[in-house]
Chain A
Amino acid sequence: MPVNPNLTVIVAAGSPLFRITPVSYHTPNRAYHKKVVNGLGAKNNYHGGRYNHGGVVTVYLADTPNACLAEKMFYFQREVVRRLDALHQPLSPGLPAFSDRFTLWEIRPKNAIPDVCHLTQANATAVGVIPSLMVNPSQDYDHLKDRRTFIQSNGYKGIKAPSSRSVVGGEIVVLFDDQSKNVDLIPYTVEFRLITRPPMAAFGNHMTELLDFNAGEVRFAAGAPAGIAAQGGWTRIPFNH
């Protein structure tokens, strides 16, 4: 089955996309920043990702800062909760921190990326994707990994699909090729913290406080991408759980 032009979008040259990484990618030498989009993180991750089996180059991006922050907040909170779940283990990795710093990257393609399969509720079934699994936030599904393989084998260069974790819209852009030679990157340092249920406060005591499972907060240290409240205060980031 060849690429169906009715299902595709083009990721335009210069259009802003976003990704969050550990701060270890934010080196003084900008030449190393390209590693943020080489897709090897997904390839080397045994578990695979939402739209990839392990062992496959995949670059995960979001088309808005809010979608990117919501996606990351979900995974940040999930890891904290899993580590709380493991506290009773004889070799627990210890009490997790309820806040952390990351680098949010604004990523602009130098050249347009064509033939990106645009998955919406209306057209997902054209490539065999079950729409509900695409937007269900509770977990990643084998079905989506399998469909990515199918979509890529038909000649598409990526997938654009709804962010299942963002509550304010936004889409994720999943590219099948290393983009390290095709992007300009701008790094922003961002702090994440978990929060309590109302009355809202920073989550700091797992034995006495109740975690808000649907939101966290972020704060930018010095500068922020357009569309995000700039430095200073904390911004609430709601997400689907």
Chain B
Amino acid sequence: MTSIPDFFQDESEGALRCQVEWQTKHLALGDGFFAKFLREDTRIFCGWRKDTDALTEAKLNVLRDWWQTVLHLLSFQNFDEEKVRLLLQQVAPTVSKADPSLFAPPWSASSMKDFLESYGPDAIQDVNRWVGSFRFGDPYRPSRKDNACLSTQT
């Protein structure tokens, strides 16, 4: 038996609404977050949630990409929703660019949630790379210029 809802793997627009609702309920990511993240008017986003307004296909695809990252974060934290919520909200101290740490996240002096709101869809890849460095990549390898994260780009 499994307790994973079907909408976890569904990519339809209806499933996207379920995913947003799930994130609101379990990860405390509300309409304000999604509106900023998508660069969308909050009223339009709320209207989309109620199926009375529309989002562009490009913005729906951003929600699909972000959901994949949420699944990675859940897996990363052993499906402990509380830990994922904390991971989203925890504010990182300022990290010196002169002495970057191996596993330092790209959202220096802010939280992952703030980082996503500030940089929008472009931030998804940075979050994925950070999680991926623990799981798949080789964080001990000397960094290459083309690996630069948003926060290290000038």
Contact = CB atoms under 8 A, between A and B. Distances in A.
A46 B128 contact: yes
A93 interface: yes
A44 B74 contact: no
Contacts, number: 96
B74 A47 contact: no
B83 interface: yes
A: contact size bracket:
35 or more
10 contacts: A23-B2, A23-B79, A45-B136, A46-B125, A82-B103, A82-B139, A89-B103, A90-B92, A94-B86, A187-B2
Given A46-B128, A86-B103, A93-B87, A26 B136 contact: no
Contact of A46 (B5, B71, B86, B137): B137
List the 4 closest pairs (A to B, CB-CB), nearest first: A47-B137, A91-B92, A32-B9, A86-B103
Interface residues of B, number: 41
Nearest to B73: A93
A85 B103 contact: yes
A126 interface: no
Contacts of B5: 27-28
Contacts of A83: 134
A24 B78 contact: no
A150 interface: no
A47 B136 contact: yes
Given A47-B137, A86-B103, A97 B2 contact: no
A85 B74 CA distance: 20
B95 A49 contact: no
